[in-house]
Structure 1
């Protein structure tokens, strides 16, 4: 039985600790990160470069729901990231991740700014 949800929980724990490489070890070399309506990162090196900048300060996030179905895990919750001015910005997120051989092959992220604090 696959347990991609447990793999994602370990990867997320690495992110929370600021361990980008710990997260990346759970990704395939050809992983793709698709930020719907924004940009697509192709390959582990592109994701590494993005994380070095976007996650220079580890993100704070809370995934309220995780659902596993076959090769997919969907997680929904909130994430806070520092912007270019060093301010923490809150977002609501839903990620659909496709796994291949126990690794993240694709992450499709639906992310919107949480305007409740504005």
Structure 2
């Protein structure tokens, strides 16, 4: 796996586990995060605030299917299972498109996230 591919795996793990320090150090100050269907989030502090607010679901599992890198652009896709406070587990398919500030050791300047609900299952 390429260096950038390994970084993206680590970034996704940090995002899911709430490692704000790791995430923050890899974003530009003027990052734009576009979650398809939502208003874009502008700036590092706003990005981190969305992470902090995180919602009421707990991530149970993330499976990364593909990491594709090319120059200053990259894509990561896979699935994740999340559980709400009632015990219901929902599976989502995701695809994140990244644009970096530079080719080598660049910071994340733009992130576009697609999230599609695949199914629900109650845990008894």
Instruction: Give the TM interval when normalised to the shorter protein.
Output: 0.7 to 0.9
Residues 1:90 and 2:91 aligned together: yes
Say how many residue pairs are matched: 117
Question: Using the alignment, how far apart are the partners of 1:67 and 1:35 within structure 2?
Answer: 19
Task: Name whichever of 46-55 and 5-14 sits farther off.
Answer: 5-14
RMSD, aligned CA = 2.7
| 1:80–1:89 contact (8 Å) kept in structure 2 | yes
Question: Using the alignment, how far apart are the partners of 1:19 and 1:58 within structure 2?
Answer: 15
| 2:82–2:90 contact (8 Å) kept in structure 1 | yes
Give the equivalent residue in structure 1 for 2:20.
20
Question: Using the alignment, how far apart are the partners of 1:41 and 1:85 within structure 2?
Answer: 29
Question: Using the alignment, how far apart are the partners of 1:71 and 1:105 within structure 2?
Answer: 10
Using structure 1 for the length normalisation, give the TM-score.
Answer: 0.80
The runs of 5 or more residues in structure 1 that have no matched partner are none
Using structure 2 for the length normalisation, give the TM-score.
Answer: 0.77
Structure with higher Rg: it is: 2
Q: 3-state SS of the aligned residue for 1:38?
A: coil
Give the equivalent residue in structure 2 for 1:78.
79
Give the equivalent residue in structure 2 for 1:5.
5
Residues 1:107 and 2:111 aligned together: yes
Cα deviation digits, residues 29-88 of structure 1 (max 9, x gap): 111110112221111111111001116766332211010011111111012345576754
